[in-house]
Structure 1
Amino acid sequence: MSGERDLTTLLSGMRPELNDGRFVFCTLPGTDVPEGLDPVATVREPEGLTLVLPQEAADRAGLGYDHVTGWITLRVHSALDAVGLTGAFAAELAAHGLSCNVIAGFHHDHIFVPADRAAEAVAVLEQLAVRSAR
């Protein structure tokens, strides 16, 4: 099942959804996820293993982090080779002073924004979708 590639369709159909909770990015040496942790995502880098975790899980495990985020899922099924979606929403968020960290899954793009501005980020993305549908 291939995803959508048309940028206008992707933007107008984003349907951003804020997931419950607060999420953090932690890093550990090695490549193995510690037992008892269930990360949202992992990334292997030469410097260590990045874990994206609920903040409560990181706190329970005693893991350090610098930035607390809200997790927004774009409910449109974007193709992995679609062009322009990330750039468009990142530019729109940046225009509102919102940083974002993006992880692409097979079906959806996932955006991590400052937790205290997550609802605002959803509203910005919803406005972009409405403008794109015109």
Structure 2
Amino acid sequence: MSGESDLRKLLSGMRPELNDGLYVFCTIPGDTDPEALAGLTPVASVLEPEGLTLVLSQEDADEAGLPYTYTAGWITLRVHSSLDAVGLTAAFATELAAHGLSCNVIAGYHHDHLFVDAARAAEAVAVLEALADRSTQD
């Protein structure tokens, strides 16, 4: 299944869902022995020249002794968005920004995943739900 690419359908069908728990972004040197990562279950990872970024539950990061500076709530947009869809990220990022909410986005094959300030995660879900509601009325 290739996913939806029509922006109106994507926005009206977002169905943002706040996942349980708190999540953090950690970085470790890119040449870290993979055995040192045993037992970690990252939500996502990105290898950059500066190191390996891991998005982990705060609990896993604490147990592994990994430092972090940002604690996030994880929102999954339940609409199956196409990887070549145009405008979805811009639309929800603009709306969140209008409410003073930062957002870190990771696209999975089926869904977009948003990491927002943990203290404002429920507010971010409400903002996204309101955007979806307005999109059904356009």
Instruction: Indicate whether the TM-score tops 0.5.
Output: yes
Give the CA RMSD over aligned residues.
0.9
CA deviation after TM superposition for structure 1 residue 30, in Å: 1.7
Name the counterpart of 1:14.
14
Supply the AA of the counterpart residue of 1:36. Answer: G
Question: Any residues of structure 2 matched to 1:20-31 within 5 Å, and which?
Answer: 20-30=20-30
Among candidates 55, 59, 67, match of residue 64 of structure 1: 67
Q: Could you list the runs of 5+ residues in structure 2 that have no partner in the other structure?
A: none
Name the counterpart of 1:40.
43
Name the counterpart of 1:119.
122
Identity among equivalent positions (%) equals: 75
Alpha-carbon distance in structure 2 between the residues aligned to 1:56 and 1:3: 33
Supply the AA of the counterpart residue of 2:2. Answer: S
Name the counterpart of 2:136.
133
Q: Could you list the runs of 5+ residues in structure 1 that have no partner in the other structure?
A: none
CA deviation after TM superposition for structure 1 residue 118, in Å: 0.2
Name the counterpart of 2:5.
5
Supply the AA of the counterpart residue of 1:116. Answer: A
TM-score by length of 1: 0.98
TM-score by length of 2: 0.95
